[in-house]
Amino acid sequence: MTIYPAIDIKGGRAVRLQQGRADQETVYAANPVDVAAEFKATGSPWVHVVDLDGAFAGTPQNLAHVEKIVATGLKVELGGGMRDRAIVDRALSIGVARVVIGTRAAESADFVTELVQAYGDKIAVGIDAKNGQVAVKGWVDTTGTGAIELAQRMDALGVATIIYTDIGTDGMLTGPNLIAQEEMASSVKASLIASGGVSRREDVVALAEIEKRRSNLSGVIVGKALYEKRVDLADLLTIS
């Protein structure tokens, strides 16, 4: 089970939102690069970064910060505003290890196909669901597409990694939607990274147990629980 500590960047600061709502923001650090350096020092190989300004604006706003995070030596998984080829090219050119396509994946299979053909497993698709329906544009709009339906379409295109976020649990510290995550893992061949709701060590252990049944559930993103010290990153990195 790979642990992806999360950094959400908004206005150049490290923040967390509740259920993706811009008006429910908590600032945890003035400089997200300092947070990344702490994750690196703790032993994490990865960091999951979301450019929240980019998610709402439709194009990344914080690549300068991302480039500095890359320079810490962490492998960076980056989402938020990745909606055209030039931006994806730019992100990968500054050293981002994996780019997450969200909104455009729901809109254009051709766009995803083009990126997968060009970059292979450096492309992930982020599927964010509210009541099982895909939400896009920084979770502002809900589509009529089912999360599993979209995941299976992306799987068929050869997408190597799917990040599945249950919006109802995100930032709420209520525990992940284990049933939804296992159902998603059983529906695709791609590696699945679970996101949303982790509040304690036992949540990660529960996801690791699902991994024993569904080996493609390979990772979990942990955000608010880390910042509020409900879990310890060094300890989570020992869970397998």
Kindly report, residue by residue over 205-223, the tens digit of the pLDDT. 999 999 999 999 999 999 9
pLDDT score at 138: 54
pLDDT at 140 over 70: no
User: Long-range pairs for 32-39 at CB < 8 Å and ≥24 separation?
Assistant: 32/7, 32/62, 32/65, 32/69, 33/65, 33/68, 33/69, 33/72, 35/7, 36/7, 36/68, 36/69, 36/72, 36/74, 37/72, 39/5, 39/7, 39/74, 39/233
Beta bridge partners of 98: 77
Bridge partners of 8, per DSSP, are 15, 50
Residues annotated as part of the active site: 8, 128
**pLDDT tens-digit map of 34-85:** 999 999 999 999 999 999 999 889 899 999 999 999 999 999 999 999 999 9
Query: Per-domain residue ranges for the chain?
Result: 2-236
CB 179 within 8 A of CB 144: no
One-letter-per-residue 3-state SS of 130-162: ECCEEEECCCCEEEEEEHHHHHHHHHHCCCCEE
The mean pLDDT value for 172-201 works out to 93
pTM of the predicted structure, to 2 decimals: 0.93
Which CA distances in Å does 188 have to 2, 155, 183, 214? 18, 6, 9, 10
Strand partners, 189: none
Q: Does domain 2-236 have CATH number 3.20.20.70?
A: yes
Longest dimension (CA), the chain: 43
pLDDT band at 19 (very low <50, low <70, confident <90, very high): low
Position 80: which residue type? G
For residue 227, what is the enclosing H or E element?
A: helix 224-227
**Which pLDDT value is given to residue 167?**
82
3-state secondary structure of 213: helix
**Portion of the chain with pLDDT greater than 70, in percent:** 94
* 1 close to 205: Cβ distance less than 8 angstroms: no
Residue 69, both tokens: 């995070």
Q: Is 58 helix (H, G, I), strand (E, B) or coil?
A: coil
* DSSP assignment string, 87-144: HHHHHHHTT-SEEEE-HHHHH-HHHHHHHHHHHGGGEEEEEEEETTEEEETTTTEEEE
**pLDDT top residue among 203 and 168:** 203
Give yes or no for residue 169 having a pLDDT over 80.
Answer: no
Contact predicate 66/76, CB 8 Å? yes
